[in-house]
Structure 1
Amino acid sequence: MPKPIRMNRRSWVAAWVVLCAAGLAATAGLNTSSTPDPRPEEPVSAECAELIADIETQLAEAGQEDKGNGVLAFSRIRTGAGDDCRDALRDRFRGDR
């Protein structure tokens, strides 16, 4: 039975370095290729723009008064069948940006 080829430590370290570098390069390539294209910004109605401006103003005021760990809540009663600003608000104030 033939004896297995023995490798010294330098050869093992070099092999691991090459494998790690290849893995990092592959990961970087996959991350850049899988990034979705940014969505084009859709026009926002005047009512939604007003609501977003009002919320930003309240957030700025709350930031200036920052007296600890509080909760800022918004409430708005809708009258009539006005358009729904849910998507515009979600896009503007989404926490993952």
Structure 2
Amino acid sequence: MPIYAVTYTYTDDSAARDAVRPAHRDFLGVLIEQGINLVSGPFAEAEAPGALLLFRAADKQSALAATEKDPFRLNGLVSDVSVREWIPVLGPLADQLS
């Protein structure tokens, strides 16, 4: 099944993100248990606020749909979501995902 790089761009409301983060991480944990979320995490503080999530999904629409109930999205803390198919070729992660 293909892998998709899902990129979140966060709003500037860091206080609200801090408040909702436990529910957001619980939600992503469920996606891990379901085999959808392979790895995810925020960009470093020196970068624009956002996150990268690698999802295993049938297609782009399914990868995007998997994010729709994310508490960050439900609470308006994500201003943009992009989805691109990603093909791991080299390295230990590529070996684990193939």
TM-score normalised by L of structure 1? 0.28
Give the structure with the larger strand fraction: 2
Tell me which protein shows more helix as a share of its residues. 1
- TM-score computed with the length of structure 2 as normaliser: 0.28
